[in-house]
Amino acid sequence: MNAPSNSAIADRLRIVLVGTQHPGNIGSAARAMKTMGLSKLVLVAPEKAPDRDTHAMAAGADDLVEAAPVFASLADAVADCQWVLGATARSRRIQLEPLHPRDAASRAVVAAAGGPVALVFGRERTGLDNEELQLCHAAVHIPSDPAFSSLNLAAAVQVLSYELRCALLGDAEGAVERVRTPPPGEGAASHAELEGFFGQLAETLEQIDFHKGRAPESAMRKLRRLYLRANLDGAEIRLLRGVLADAQRMARLAGQASDREKIG
């Protein structure tokens, strides 16, 4: 096993805690991560800042908490990520491809060879909201008892960090090789590039009156799933945005022509 290169991959695996309500859980999550060789903890709008409870529960993993950047929104926290995985306690609410922790972990390690990867955890009471789940490329569900499916936040971080470690140790050679030799071309698009594309797509669908009075959410959800499955790279995003820009131009011209007709 090649420890330094292995840890280079671990450094690209980011654990993101969204809207954490109990500061103690931030400490427990940091400890869970550190035992599994992970160090990149990121906080999104925690309800309370890390405090004494955090440090008591961190029990020696305080360095992760101290180094943790705090973002105002999940979109900001994952803007540079290539792959974003949302951990969810309830499988029925998921509109994304739900993965088993083991598969999710190996895919995360493979994706981390190309750039940063985020594993996102929700609030203790309510989990991740729909808007936050929309920002995720896939969901992971720990197959708990459906009658009592919700793990404590830090316990969920522990289980998934363990799976990431197993994936890393099991595939150390392969993953290390992939990091040394990045895939040809420019690699997968970043989260921000994808969101820019989805924004323009939503705008275009409005302009060409695609929805015809139907709620736009359902079509956008399906289109997001389709494009996320395609694993687009930066050049492909630019190509698609070029197509949309032309469609938008045509829609504007058609609009102007029909205005002239009304006036005339």
Contact 133, 95 (CB under 8 A): yes
Told to check if 151 binds ligand SAH by CB under 6 A, we report yes
Exposure class string for 168-188: b at 16+ Cβ within 10 A, else e: beebbeebbebbeeeeeeeeb
Smaller CB separation from ligand SAH, 28 or 204: 28
What would the x/- binding string for ligand SAH be over residues 131 to 150, using CB under 6 A?
A: ---------xxx-x----xx
Half-sphere exposure of 239 (CA within 13 A, CB side): 6
How many whole angstroms separate alpha carbon 58 and alpha carbon 38?
A: 14
Smaller CB separation from ligand SAH, 100 or 249: 100
Max CA separation in the chain (angstroms): 77
Told to check if 128 binds ligand SAH by CB under 6 A, we report yes
How many whole angstroms separate alpha carbon 75 and alpha carbon 117?
A: 13
Write down the least CB distance from residue 211 to ligand SAH, Å.
Answer: 30
Q: Is 25 helix (H, G, I), strand (E, B) or coil?
A: helix
How many whole angstroms separate alpha carbon 195 and alpha carbon 79?
A: 9
Told to check if 20 binds ligand SAH by CB under 6 A, we report no
Q: Which of 19, 23, 50, 127 binds ligand SAH (CB under 6 A)?
A: 127
Residues 202-221 that bind ligand SAH (CB under 6 A): none
How many whole angstroms separate alpha carbon 5 and alpha carbon 215?
A: 48
Q: Which of 89, 179, 220, 240 binds ligand SAH (CB under 6 A)?
A: 89
How many whole angstroms separate alpha carbon 157 and alpha carbon 18?
A: 12
Write down the least CB distance from residue 94 to ligand SAH, Å.
Answer: 10
Told to check if 19 binds ligand SAH by CB under 6 A, we report no
Told to check if 87 binds ligand SAH by CB under 6 A, we report yes
Please choose, out of 35-43, 124-132, 183-191, 195-203, the segment that lies near ligand SAH by the rule CB under 6 A: 124-132
Which residues of this protein are in contact with ligand SAH, per CB under 6 A? Answer: 87-90, 121-122, 124-128, 140-142, 144, 149-151, 153, 156
